[in-house]
Amino acid sequence: MISNIHALKGRLETEIRWYKNEKEKLEQLLSDGEENFQETKNKIIQTKTEMKKIISTYSSDLLQELEGKWRPEENKIKIKLSNLEKNKDELESRKRLLDKTLLSHQSSDIFSVGQTLVNTLPYKSFPRIQHGKTKFIPGKIWKFESEVSTTFGELYTVPSLELIDSYETDISIVTKIHCDYNEVVIGSWVDEKLQTVKSKRWNRSTRKFKTLGIHVSTNDQILVGLVESHGLTSPTRYSVRRVVVMNQDGFIQHTYEYDSNSQRLFSWPRRITTHNDNIFVVDLTNKKLVGRVVVLDYEGEIQWTYTGCNSINSNQSKFTPQDIAVSPNGRIVVSDRDNNAVHVLSPTGEVIEYKELKTFGIDIHFSVCINQYDDLWIGCNTMTDKNKAKIFHLKLI
């Protein structure tokens, strides 16, 4: 009987500890949530206040400018109007006197007025006032919520990463990784192999896989980054640094190399992906693999560029983009080689989150991919054991 009581007591203590732990987790979650809510709320209110201040200041400046244009002209017009009124009143007074004299039957009145008759008239040469009208043309009024959010800001859910699994390959470096539904394809230009993983089973192939930057869009267009040399060099006037769009037959449909001002769009278009109507290019700018993300529309116009997170990347910690992927809802994941991290960006290029990968045991990452389920796959390099490069399967939550 005593042993049963002790056993039940132990079970109860275990259950109580579980409930205490869960309670502490929920309390911490509640505290963190409230802190995040207040911080975000304060930023929204601060942005509203700052925008109101900017608009108020600008409108006050416009009103002051309008006053400066109109008031001097108003004074000139009023002075001229006053003089005209004064001369008119004088003439009307003289006319009334003459009318009265002409109606009089007394010769003495006519003689008296005739003696004091003034024949001169007021000088009518007033300077002509040239008045240029002022017109206010209102700026674009926001008709759609998307237009307001672009200017004011938008709420984004900060993603968290959860490690699902990791796999060891028989290649030395995963230079390219492509994921689609439940299948992942990896390639290595070093080992000249293309392999697939499905349900944790590897199938080997002997196809060669050598590219600088290549991507197949959802409408089956092939985008390729082209350069004139294999080594990363600074472009000269004779260099070729372009992204071309081809159809499935290999015919080039678009070429992107220079902007409308004849300035180069890219230094070294290393990685390419697409989402909706935008082309995302990882563009390296020097031999130390420092670079940026360049986003174009299909007309070749730059939408925005990203050169790293100000709070993370600095002179001592440069932004070294390695690969790029876009989730179905438009979140952009850029891998940062030297900082062993990923940057999660909004569709407009703002930093939503920055995650260090060492937390998940990931090191020397080389390639990234996101499938339709928000599964993030990361391919790695190995500097010691050949043919044992790893790939990691994470979830964007």
- Report, as ranges of residue numbers, the positions in the chain whose pLDDT lies below 50: 199-210
Q: What is the pLDDT of residue 196?
A: 58
Closest alpha carbon to 171 in 143, 146, 195 = 195
- The helix-helix angle for 2-103 and 107-115 (nearest 10°) equals 120
Residue 12 phi, psi dihedral angles, 5° rounding: -65, -40
**Dist CA 49 CA 149 (whole Å):** 16
Sorted by where each begins, the domain ranges of the chain are: 2-152, 161-396
CATH superfamily of 161-396: TolB, C-terminal domain (2.120.10.30)
Residue 125, both tokens? 């040469």
**Dist CA 110 CA 124 (whole Å):** 29
- Written as one letter, the residue type at 180 is D
Contacts of 325 (CB under 8 A, 6+ apart): 273, 332, 333, 368, 369, 370, 376
Closest alpha carbon to 169 in 374, 371, 366 = 366
Q: What is the pLDDT of residue 267?
A: 92
Q: What is the pLDDT of residue 182?
A: 62
Q: What is the pLDDT of residue 203?
A: 41
Q: What is the pLDDT of residue 278?
A: 95
Q: What is the pLDDT of residue 202?
A: 39
**Dist CA 159 CA 354 (whole Å):** 10
Closest alpha carbon to 126 in 74, 71, 83 = 83
Contacts of 16 (CB under 8 A, 6+ apart): none
Q: What is the pLDDT of residue 339?
A: 92
Read off the pLDDT of residues 166-179 as tens digits, 9 standing for 90 and up. 777 776 677 667 67
**Dist CA 378 CA 382 (whole Å):** 13
> What Rg, from alpha-carbon coordinates, does the chain have?
39
